[in-house]
């Protein structure tokens, strides 16, 4: 998580994502090259980073583990960058340890419900919306086994935060 996002308590979807995923970890910074815990995760897991690129494995079309010739099964880890697009570019550039990770992406099929923040393009999603889409696709590929009811309620805290912010904005305008 970029330090600027870490300081945002009013609309931190990265923090909501972390709180919604019991086995997640939250790291704050710009350059994670020397972060011992991140390097440990990379060394002990089949690690990916959710980041669009021309070489990204598109989860909407392909099982991410199908491209790996693994004889030893390691647990899967997916790194999510919670930041603006401009700041995420810097984080990717600075964090040498992330350069070797396979990128994953997905086809966004619906617009963001983050009504209080303008996205750079219509199908850019917030961190928590992106996490949900990844979980749905990993469940579809039978990599995750998440109950449909859990997926359906995953965005409940996000929706509550957005509604609260919209009410506050409306109240300030009156």
**Residue 9 CA: distances (Å) to CA of 60, 120, 126, 152:** 32, 21, 15, 25
User: What is the pLDDT averaged over residues 32-49?
Assistant: 97
pLDDT at 68: 63
Taking each continuous run of H as one helix and of E as one strand, the counts in the chain are 7, 4
pLDDT at 7: 65
Q: Is the pLDDT of residue 62 over 90?
A: no
What is the longest distance spanned by two Cα atoms in the chain? 63
pLDDT at 31: 98
Cβ pair 150, 5 in contact under 8 A: no
Residue-wise pLDDT for 79-115, tens only, equals: 999 988 889 999 999 999 999 999 999 998 888 888 7
Residue-wise pLDDT for 63-82, tens only, equals: 887 766 544 478 999 999 99
Residue-wise pLDDT for 17-26, tens only, equals: 999 999 999 9
| pTM tops 0.85, yes or no | yes
Reported as a pLDDT band with limits 50, 70 and 90, residue 32 is very high
Cβ pair 108, 125 in contact under 8 A: yes
Q: Tokens representing 32? A: 């994670």
User: What is the pLDDT averaged over residues 11-15?
Assistant: 81
pLDDT at 70: 44
Q: For 12-147, where are the alpha helices, taking DSSP H only?
A: 13-20, 36-44, 85-94, 127-140
Helix (H) or strand (E) holding 46: strand 46-50
Q: Tokens representing 94? A: 């600075």
Residue-wise pLDDT for 131-170, tens only, equals: 999 999 999 998 899 999 999 999 999 999 989 988 888 8
Q: Is the pLDDT of residue 8 over 70?
A: no
């Amino acid at each position: 998580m970029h330090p600027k996002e870490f300081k945002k308590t009013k609309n931190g979807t990265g923090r909501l994502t972390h709180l919604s995923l019991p086995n997640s970890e939250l790291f704050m910074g710009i350059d994670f090259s020397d972060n011992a815990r991140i390097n440990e995760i990379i060394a002990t897991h089949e690690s990916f980073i959710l980041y669009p690129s021309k070489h990204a494995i598109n989860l909407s079309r392909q099982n991410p583990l199908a491209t790996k010739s693994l004889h030893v099964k390691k647990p899967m880890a997916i790194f999510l960058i919670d930041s603006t697009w401009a700041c995420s570019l810097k984080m990717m550039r600075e964090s040498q340890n992330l350069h070797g990770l396979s990128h994953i992406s997905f086809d966004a099929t619906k617009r963001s419900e983050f009504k209080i923040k303008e996205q750079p393009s219509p199908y850019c999603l917030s961190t928590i919306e992106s996490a949900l889409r990844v979980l749905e696709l990993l469940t579809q590929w039978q990599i995750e086994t998440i109950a449909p009811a859990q997926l359906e309620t995953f965005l409940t805290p996000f929706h509550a935060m957005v509604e609260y912010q919209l009410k506050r904005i409306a109240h300030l305008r009156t």
